[in-house]
Structure 1
């Protein structure tokens, strides 16, 4: 019976063990983050500060994360990805405890900034581990599985947070710390320990950043990730709630319902999209995802009713699924398994978009129109699709040897039929 169960699992689990562990860690991290985010502005406001100071608390996490990311590749090379991931998670856990114990606004602000440093360490090391764990022919599905952990956790977290606030306003911070402690422990116990002999060989194959940066696959991935951060992590969250209330005259809570439905669609799309990325190629996924994303951003401010907005956001979820898997896989294709610094720059592109995007879109919405604010985001999506046209077609040949420092990154591609 046990043998039969193991065989059944092997037939259905199509990603390596470490990818599954990383997906579980992503779920734990996202649940806790989702619990804290709705409560954080209210808790900051309890210190009798201005709205701008409240915004500073929210932005401190992303700002310090952006500043720290360039160093995370070297930290990861020094400590190892597994240790860097655990240390980063435990830093965020400690910062969450300090935030929950904060007795002043400054204490809360500093604790959130410290959390951003740990988050950068976790994000870069987790993505590097993901690309190292999955072979080229499986990177799209691996990225999709990892994204699923974040999405499902992000949908679960706010509901739990609402219940915890009935206990105390600071209870979500301690719950977040607990979920992070679980995530860090899971990483230390279940992620594979590095094989020193293999690690030494792979370290010798690290490509210079200038070589990776010149690769069309990496360039397209970075531009697409900038557009993803700008729109899906920035403009969408900043302007759509206003659009729902002021233009569609709906209850603010309905924005959450629309986002939740779109997130479910995105989660369901990740599996098929990941398979498409690994079988047909990164290039068509990034081009179609960029075009669809651009059309969605142009359509959002023009929709005449709430339910059509939900449909448009669901299409945006499909685009986000494509741009959450194909660019990550492309980074691995261009940089190879040991890709700490390229992954850090790739992550920074999304963070930069998430910070700058809402500011630019909000300014344009105030001074010109809401439509123009969304149109700039659409232009970035379109730029990502345009840059992706320069990428080679097909998928990387899983049998191709790893590049060495004296060789340029391989562009040998396999026919999708060879992977079946």
Structure 2
């Protein structure tokens, strides 16, 4: 639901009633991940998606029904061997869907309202909803804020709310979204209750070092991927807002000094992407000496293969180990035959996605790997995204 929080927040402020269908869990090849949502208001307007088209029509009708009768519903959609064209996922996957009405009289409205407002503003929060379990609890919600306070409730014993809040806070701390299972009495025993926990966290950061033409194209690609993008360069004549109007920040500073200050201020995390485009040893070496020892998601550096070999020798000379150097993606990007700044930015963005999602970077045609997956190998990342 929080993936469409801005639109839902607008609907709520306009006083609209709506129902929202959210992906709770997936199995096999499914196009959307837990938390993806489709919402339908009382006039029939729809926003979002839960399947990329496979079951949208059926889910739309479920939303209309939930909005009419005020009852939440849980539904499973999957591939049918008997009839591949039946309502289901012809791609072979299975998705579980929670449909929740958000009407004026809905018990979950206050928590959903607060969650959408916080997520739309880019604040940190988690929304936990009962996706499967006792019928009287289905769809009930509790919002957990970054400071640990919460709003709403699941309608069961107090211990259930306390356990749900603790579990949601743990998911929020890692920026994770997905289902968890607890007992209806708040323990790990008893009647099982499945909660869908959705975390809203600030956009992951992309820091582009080197205010060159390729950086301008990479800024646009980074914004398209949903990153908060910063451009940093020590040369004020190049690092200007006029040259990078789409960047969230343009910083004039020595790259290694800015990175150290950002680290000390808590501005880096396991989702952070660092792209070094300076290919100048006086900038690259002190920057990469620091960067390759940080628990960030991706570090890439531009340059020819000759530059790469020379840079590695220099980095070894300042004390970096082969294990640390193995984290560096250099030359940066996938081999797409890129020539222009835009093509190069595409190759870099593709490599970032592949590293984050555990992709191989090879053509899907003829490959035997899953098309849809969200597993990244720790040894490739240095830290899980």
State the TM-score, normalized to the length of structure 1.
0.22
Relative to its length, the structure with more helix (as a share) is 1
Asked which structure has the greater RCO (Cα within 8 Å, sep 6+), the reply is: 1
Per residue, is there more strand in 1 or in 2? 2
Query: What TM-score do you get using the length of structure 2 for normalisation?
Result: 0.23
Q: Compare CA radii of gyration and give the structure with the larger one.
A: 2
